[in-house]
Structure 1
Amino acid sequence: MPFAEATVYVPIAPERAFELAHSLGVERASWDPGAATSRFVRGAEEDKQGTIRFIKGRDGMRFLLQTTAWHEPAASACKMVKGPSWLESYGESIRVEDTACGTKVTWKHTATVKRAFLPKLTAAGIEQWITARTNRRMAGFESAAHLLAFSE
């Protein structure tokens, strides 16, 4: 299963970093290139295990992601309930840790492509897509965290 992982150290408290990583709506869209629109669905009002979020990316991809692990403010994970037709599975996890160098945030993405699409999508292409997606999103998160540090 192709995966990508990115880690940054940010100058905000772990609790604030976790909160930023799980922001929705306008706040999320301001920093996350993977989320032009994001909101809770199916009656959810807060993120916790079992919560489902709708995410529409700037690239037009749409996902329903279900939170599968929720350990605020240290870690969370989610999996795709519904998404692009070519994806068999997709998941994200975030780990936040207080260190002497600042708050360490690690974001991991995993994806599996449906067999019918494999002739068109090579393993290298899938890995390149998920690595680029992870790096773009982490860069946006890091910039937003630095802006928060200066504004607080």
Structure 2
Amino acid sequence: MPVVESAVVVAVEPAVAFAVAQTQGEVRLRWDPFIAGQRFLDGATRPGKGVRTLTRHRSGLSMVSEYVSYRPPTSTGMQMVRGPWFFERLAAGWRFAPHDGGGTLATWRYSFACRPAWLAPVAEKVGTAVLGRDIRRRIDGFARGCADPVVLAAARANLAAERPDGERDAAA
């Protein structure tokens, strides 16, 4: 299964970097060039393991994905539940770790498989190039978000509302 990965060091601590990656709505659109829109499904109001989202890519394609892991402030993982016909599988993992020189090393990885089987060898080569470009653009946007005062204020507000167990305080 092909894998594409990109990494960047940002000048914020891992908890803030993780919170930036989980921003939603207009704040998310400030930094994430991948999406044209995203919303929680099934009555969810925040990310967490088992939560599903509907994401619309800027190209118009859309997918429903589900958080398969949610471990603030170190990692999150998602898998496609329903999406474009040419993906048999699509998964993403984002990791956030303290960087030796300060800040956070953010590493994002996508793995995927294409269909139909007879087209997969060619489609996966094209997919590696396209998703590789997208993940680099997306992580560059994330780095800009980690320096954007509006994005940082929203991320820090969300972080302040979180309890140590990753759940949101009822008053927030």
The answer on 1:97 being equivalent to 2:97 is yes
- Corresponding residue number in structure 1 for 2:134: 133
Q: One-letter code of the match for 1:137?
A: R
CA contact under 8 A between 1:9 and 1:103: conserved in structure 2? yes
Worse-matched range after superposition: 120-129 or 89-98 = 120-129
Q: One-letter code of the match for 1:92?
A: A
Partner secondary structure for residue 7 of structure 1: strand
Which protein has the larger Cα radius of gyration, Structure 1 or Structure 2?
Answer: 2
How big is each residue's C-alpha offset from its partner over 1:42-81, in whole Å with a ceiling of 9 and x where there is no partner? 1112211100011101111101110001111100100001
**Counterparts in 2 of 1:1-150, with a 5 A limit?**
1-101=1-101, 102-115=103-116, 118=119, 121-148=122-149
CA contact under 8 A between 1:32 and 1:140: conserved in structure 2? yes
* Percent of matched pairs sharing the same residue: 26
More strand, by proportion: 1
Partner secondary structure for residue 81 of structure 1: strand
How big is each residue's C-alpha offset from its partner over 1:76-112, in whole Å with a ceiling of 9 and x where there is no partner? 1000011111111111111001123221100111111
Write the distance in 1 (CA, Å) between the matches of 2:118 and 2:23: 32
Cα offset, 1:143, TM superposition: 1.1
CA RMSD in angstroms, aligned pairs only = 1.9
| Alignment TM-score, normalising by the size of structure 1 | 0.91
Cα offset, 1:117, TM superposition: 6.8
CA contact under 8 A between 1:12 and 1:148: conserved in structure 2? no
